[in-house]
Chain A
Amino acid sequence: MNLGASAQRERLRGAGGQARYQTAGPDGRRSTLLPRELLWIALQGLRQRTLRATLSALGIAIGIGAMVAVVGVSASSQANLLAEIDSLGTNLLTVTPGQTFLGANEVLPNTSVPMINHMSAVQNAASVYQVSGATVLRTPYVPKEQTGGIGVDAADPGLLKALGGRLTAGQFLSSNNDAFPTVVLGAQAANTLQIPNVNGRLQVFLGGTWFTVIGILKPVVLDPNLDSTAFIGLPAAERLFQQQPNPAEIYVRANVNQVTQVSNLLAPTVDPQNPDGVQVSRPSNALEARAAAKGQFTTLLLGLGAVALLVGAIGIANIMVISVLERRAEIGLRRALGARRRHISSQFLAESALLAVLGGVSGLLLGAIATLGYAVAQGQPWVVPTYALIAAPAAGLAIGVIAGVYPAGKAARLSPTEALRAT
């Protein structure tokens, strides 16, 4: 009574719940493993060997953590630098005298700054004038040779605005005070002279005259040379030191979307007769190059992280091979219960992948925490590149699959009877 038996079975199966069977094979049944069951048995497999699983995932976690930390730390300092550049603006250009064919220094005309200010695409321009021979000393009793590397420049009152600079204390030079012996110190210069603020109208001995310190600058990122400079007014310099009004360096703010045009026009504007004697540069370019170079430096460290990952992958493969040997009985049992070879291999592949993905995610956390620690210590923004959020688990997955291929194949090829005997 084939029909009867078949009908009875269908009735029984139906009564057993919503059991559904895909139609295939001679009597319409398959050996099936639902994907969520696969994940579940993979998890069970790992839970049976928690310590070993943790240790082998740790290898991947350390490798990925190292790589995330390297990428994160460099991204954080890069972000820091770029943020500074952005806050200062990338539209700053500098004009300096070039050199003649024979190597002597050119001289910029004293009309340079007014000429540049006439350009329509220029927001403002200001110049510094090197006061050669003058030194800044705390008192006249300090030997003249101990300048502490502090240079003296005369500066246009508009310099602070052109640089986008800020003051820690006091005020900058202005048309009200630049004829008097007043000085504004760069950050490094103030530090060297041990003048932390402008309270009490401290004086310094500058070029044989007492100058009152009226302001202290914050560090100027776009041109760190200015940090170890003392600025006095041009009229004062002309009066006291017979300073020639030929600019040593002109700082030009161009309209943001016309920087290139301005850059091209500056040399002929400054010195129409000898434009080749004028050198124009864009400080933010150099800083951006430096930021990029900081990124480049990490390649070596990333390589080391990759080696750690490789070692981690070998560790996982090793653990999985041992696991297959230890679990021969389980493999045999599963085959007897109706598992296909493919079910066995996917089980071990899933275990290996799960292990490595867990390692990858923990590595991401480790690396992110390490980056956070570094960023906090350095006062930098905390940046973990977005791609790392995807790349770390994905790398884990890829490593897990690659490391699992051999053990999984080995498990699937195991003869079920041999496996059942091995207890």
Chain B
Amino acid sequence: MSLTPNQAETEDGVSIRLRGVSKEYPGGVHALRSVTVEVGAGEQVAVVGPSGSGKTTMLTVMGTLERPTSGDVRVAGWDAGSASDQELAALRAHEIGFVFQDFHLQDGMTALDNVANGMLYTGAPLGARREAARVALDRVGLSHRLTHRPPQLSGGERQRVAIARALAKRPVIVFADEPTGNLDSRSGAEVLALLHGLASEGATLALITHDEHIAATFPRRLQMRDGEIVGDDRQ
């Protein structure tokens, strides 16, 4: 069984499309100001910018965790603006993987179950989930850590567990928010290599960072400032 992530199933090869997307928070904070951007299927994009520039908000809107105040969001062929809670949840359950800066692993559970829980809401039975989790943990080089709990793992290992959780369900899009932010440079480089390697097998990867060196490893970089995309470089 291969762990190859799937190709984004969109009619035009576009995985994520934002059109005139704005996000306002109560109190008049404009986190996003009419952002328009397209990310192709299988593309790897770094989103860079200073804190408060709207990177995370853009990621959560793309990841359908939040709805925009205005504008169109299409993710993996779904219109996130008009989709119901059930449809968006289904989209996240099956098509989208998230990797967070502080891992968000459950301390009381083994690495295997943390990864298996990543597919909890797909409706797959536990046996199938654990099997997929074992394969994913093997892929991130943690087959010797299956029964360890997060507090027994190093930061780099924890983030690899989180990556295995995001990838075990073979998502079409992976969102990573500062995945190396809490890691030393060596573990960070390993995690980054892992993300690049896995994503190069077909999934779209959008990664937030404020680190120019990390951004430089991406073929495409979106520069953000004050809720707007101010630069879109491709190598």
Q: Which residue numbers of A lie inside 8 Å of B, CB to CB?
A: 1-2, 5-6, 8-9, 12, 15-22, 24-27, 29-34, 37, 41, 44, 47-48, 329-330, 332-343, 415-417, 420, 423
List residues of B (123-149) whose CB comes within 8 Å of A's CBs. Answer: 123-128, 131-132
Is A329 in contact with B104, judged by CB distance below 8 angstroms?
Answer: yes
Please indicate the chain A residues that have their CB under 8 angstroms from the CB of B2 in the complex: 12
CB distance from B83 to the nearest CB of A (A): 8
Is B104 in contact with A338, judged by CB distance below 8 angstroms?
Answer: no
Q: Which one of B60, B117, B122 has the highest number of Cβ atoms from chain A below 10 Å of its Cβ? A: B122
Please indicate the chain A residues that have their CB under 8 angstroms from the CB of B119 in the complex: 337
Is A420 in contact with B77, judged by CB distance below 8 angstroms?
Answer: no
Q: List 13 A-B contacts (CB under 8 A).
A: A2-B9, A31-B90, A31-B121, A32-B121, A34-B123, A47-B108, A337-B92, A337-B93, A337-B119, A338-B91, A338-B93, A417-B56, A420-B100
Please indicate the chain B residues that have their CB under 8 angstroms from the CB of A26 in the complex: 77-78, 87
Please indicate the chain B residues that have their CB under 8 angstroms from the CB of A22 in the complex: 123
Is B121 in contact with A19, judged by CB distance below 8 angstroms?
Answer: no
Is A19 in contact with B128, judged by CB distance below 8 angstroms?
Answer: yes
Please indicate the chain A residues that have their CB under 8 angstroms from the CB of B120 in the complex: 33, 37, 41, 334, 337-339
Is B100 in contact with A338, judged by CB distance below 8 angstroms?
Answer: no
The closest CB in chain A to the CB of B107 belongs to: A48
Please indicate the chain A residues that have their CB under 8 angstroms from the CB of B125 in the complex: 17-19, 34
Q: Which one of B11, B78, B92 has the highest number of Cβ atoms from chain A below 10 Å of its Cβ? A: B92
Is B108 in contact with A31, judged by CB distance below 8 angstroms?
Answer: no
CB distance from B211 to the nearest CB of A (A): 20
Is B126 in contact with A37, judged by CB distance below 8 angstroms?
Answer: yes
Is B6 in contact with A420, judged by CB distance below 8 angstroms?
Answer: no
Q: Which one of A17, A335, A337 has the highest number of Cβ atoms from chain B below 10 Å of its Cβ? A: A337
Please indicate the chain A residues that have their CB under 8 angstroms from the CB of B108 in the complex: 44, 47-48
Please indicate the chain B residues that have their CB under 8 angstroms from the CB of A417 in the complex: 56-57, 60, 65-66
Is B86 in contact with A340, judged by CB distance below 8 angstroms?
Answer: yes
Please indicate the chain B residues that have their CB under 8 angstroms from the CB of A33 in the complex: 120-121, 123
Q: Check A25/B7 contact, CB under 8 A, given A337-B92, A339-B121, A416-B65.
A: no
Is A2 in contact with B11, judged by CB distance below 8 angstroms?
Answer: yes
CB distance from B228 to the nearest CB of A (A): 20
Q: Check A30/B123 contact, CB under 8 A, given A336-B65, A338-B90, A417-B60.
A: yes
CB distance from A239 to the nearest CB of B (A): 93
| Other-chain contact of B86, A19, A31, A337 (Cβ < 8 Å) | A31
List residues of B (86-125) whose CB comes within 8 Å of A's CBs. Answer: 86-87, 89-94, 96, 98, 100, 102, 104, 106, 108-109, 117-125
Is B6 in contact with A9, judged by CB distance below 8 angstroms?
Answer: yes
The closest CB in chain A to the CB of B128 belongs to: A17
| Other-chain contact of A5, B6, B92, B96, B126 (Cβ < 8 Å) | B6
Instruction: Assess whether B85 is interfacial by the CB under 8 Å rule.
Output: yes
Beyond A5-B6, A32-B121, 17 extra complex contacts between A and B, CB < 8 Å: A1-B7, A16-B128, A17-B125, A17-B131, A18-B128, A27-B9, A31-B86, A330-B104, A330-B106, A333-B106, A334-B120, A337-B92, A338-B96, A340-B89, A341-B89, A417-B56, A423-B102
List residues of B (63-80) whose CB comes within 8 Å of A's CBs. Answer: 63, 65-66, 77-78
Q: Shortest 10 CB-CB distances between A and B: which pairs?
A: A338-B93, A17-B128, A32-B123, A31-B89, A338-B121, A340-B89, A338-B92, A19-B124, A5-B7, A31-B90
Please indicate the chain B residues that have their CB under 8 angstroms from the CB of A1 in the complex: 7
The closest CB in chain B to the CB of A333 belongs to: B104
The closest CB in chain A to the CB of B108 belongs to: A48
Please indicate the chain A residues that have their CB under 8 angstroms from the CB of B104 in the complex: 329-330, 332-333, 336, 420, 423
Is A16 in contact with B123, judged by CB distance below 8 angstroms?
Answer: no
Instruction: Assess whether B160 is interfacial by the CB under 8 Å rule.
Output: no
CB distance from A422 to the nearest CB of B (A): 11
The closest CB in chain B to the CB of A340 belongs to: B89
Please indicate the chain A residues that have their CB under 8 angstroms from the CB of B65 in the complex: 335-336, 416-417, 420
The closest CB in chain A to the CB of B121 belongs to: A338
CB distance from A412 to the nearest CB of B (A): 10
Please indicate the chain A residues that have their CB under 8 angstroms from the CB of B124 in the complex: 16-17, 19
Is A16 in contact with B132, judged by CB distance below 8 angstroms?
Answer: yes
| Other-chain contact of B170, A12, A31, A333 (Cβ < 8 Å) | A12
Please indicate the chain B residues that have their CB under 8 angstroms from the CB of A19 in the complex: 122-125, 128
Please indicate the chain B residues that have their CB under 8 angstroms from the CB of A24 in the complex: 86, 90
Instruction: Assess whether B1 is interfacial by the CB under 8 Å rule.
Output: yes
